[in-house]
Amino acid sequence: MARNASVDLAEESSRPTETQAKIITVAAELFAKQGYHATGVAELGRAVGLGAGALYHHIGSKEELLLTILRAHLEDMYGFGTRVLAGEGTAVWRLHELARNHMRLVAHRRTELLVMLRELDSLTGQRRADMLALRDAVEGIWDEVIRRGVAAGELADVDPMFVKVVLGALNYSLLWFQPEGPETPERMADRILDMVLKTS
Is 54 a residue whose pLDDT tops 90?
no
Whether 31 is covered by a domain: the verdict is: no
Q: Using the 8-state DSSP alphabet, how is residue 89 labeled?
A: S
Q: For residues 14 and 191, give the distance between their C-alpha atoms in angstroms, rounded to a whole number.
A: 38
Residue 37, domain member (yes or no): no
Query: What would the DSSP string read from start to end of 13-40?
Result: PPPPPHHHHHHHHHHHHHHHHH-STT--
Q: How confident is the model at residue 12 (pLDDT cuts 50, 70, 90)?
A: very low
- Structural domain contains residue 118: yes
Domain that holds residue 108: 67-199
Closest CA to 149 of 160, 161, 137, 158: 158
Residue 47 in any domain: the answer is: no
Give the CA angle between residues 61, 76, 20 to the nearest 5°.
35
pLDDT digits (tens, 9 = 90+) for 116-145: 999 999 999 999 999 999 999 999 999 999
For 86-104, what is the mean pLDDT?
96
Q: pLDDT (tens digit, 9 = 90+) per residue, 162-199?
A: 999 999 999 999 999 999 989 999 999 999 999 998 86
For residue 11, being part of any structural domain is answered with no
Would residue 81 count as lying in a domain? yes
Question: What is the Cα–Cα distance from 102 to 98, expressed in whole angstroms?
Answer: 6
CATH code of residue 170: 1.10.357.10
Give the number of domains in the chain: 1
